Amino acid sequence: MRILVTNDDGIGAPGIVMLERAAQRLGAEVYVVAPERQNSAQSHAITIHQPVFARELPHTHGEARRIAVEGTPCDCVRLALIKLLPEKPDLCVSGINHGGNLGWNIFFSGTVSAAAEAHSFGVPSVAFSLASWAPDVKWEGTDLLCAALLRRLLAAKHSRPDWLYSVNLPAIDPREVKGVRVTRQNPAVKGDNFVERESPDGRRYFWPVWDEMKAAHARHDNPDYDTVAIREGFVSLTPMRYEVSDMNEPGVKEAMESFQPGKVM
């Protein structure tokens, strides 16, 4: 088995080392292609107006290749699948992100988007995130937990071959995890906020922050939601599909059927 490992926190982040170890526990041939530096919240951005530089790094963790890319998480995946890997991988894993990708966060997450980009090439993919922003987060044992989850996913019967999942791990000792819930994203969690400040030269600026109190007001107790699973000590496993067309929007089709552009031009 050949596994592509990537992330958005950068190739030197501790989370990606844990994910490499998890992939190796499956007996896989591991290829690491990840951003040279921190690239969080890049969503599905790709580079189109400048070159994408890549450099080979020493194979310090037993991987087949380790490549740092001057680009976004999606650049890394595209470059890996089109140019760098000898063959199409059997699986792509992204993460482990330092911080949860829950609710609306999945839309701007570079971690999730990297997995989604591989999925767009027909590669089964999983994005892993550890639901804690604490600077002293404990990574020990997350490789074992991720490896166990991957074994179950690889053995599962999926509805399509190019499956995609977003996995969030609770920030507790992996031995204390209660289990896994198949979840949906919480549609109401919005903790985005800005703190207004003034620079030394008198200019006003706004520092983006995550407002826990604001997010707490949007809390729901539906056990199907990813945020609730994490809060209750479960792994949240969210199946994803990047088909976003909504053909059930009432009234729009009827409104457009009688529209004649020639009469308004």
Which CATH number goes with the domain that contains 74?
Answer: 3.40.1210.10
Enumerate the H helices of 166-249 as residue ranges. 212-217, 226-231
Pair of tokens at residue 244: 């976003």
Q: Are residues 199 and 138 in the same domain?
A: no
Residue 41's pLDDT is 75
- Of 171, 103, 189, 93, the closest CA to residue 131 belongs to 171
Residue 232 CA to residue 176 CA, distance in Å, equals: 11
Whether 179 and 193 map to the same domain: the answer is no
What pLDDT sits at residue 213? 53
pLDDT-based confidence at 119, cuts 50/70/90?
very high
Residue type at position 236: S
Half-sphere exposure of 251 (CA within 13 A, CB side): 0
Structural domains of the chain, count: 2
Same domain, residue pair 175 and 237: yes
Question: Are residues 179 and 199 both part of a single domain?
Answer: no
Both 158 and 240 in one domain: the answer is yes
Quote the domain boundaries for residue 216.
188-221
The pLDDT tens digits for 50-88 are 999 999 998 877 888 999 999 999 999 999 999 999 999
Contact by Cβ (8 Å): 56, 92: no
- Same domain, yes or no: 162 and 96: yes
Say if residue 201 is in the same domain as residue 234. Answer: no
What pLDDT, in 10s, does the model give residues 158-189?
A: 988 899 999 999 999 999 999 999 999 887 66
84 or 227, higher pLDDT: 84
Nearest of 117, 41, 124 to residue 90 by alpha carbon: 124
Q: 165 near 126, Cβ under 8 Å?
A: yes
Q: What is the distance between the terminal CA atoms of the chain, rounded to a whole angstrom?
A: 58
* pLDDT confidence band for 141 (50 / 70 / 90): very high
Residue 55 and residue 9 share a domain: yes
Q: Which residues contact 16 (CB under 8 A, 6 or more apart)?
A: 5, 6, 7, 9, 10, 32, 34, 95, 96
Pair 167, 94 in one domain? yes
pLDDT in the model for residue 92: 98
Give CA 125 to chain center in angstroms. 10
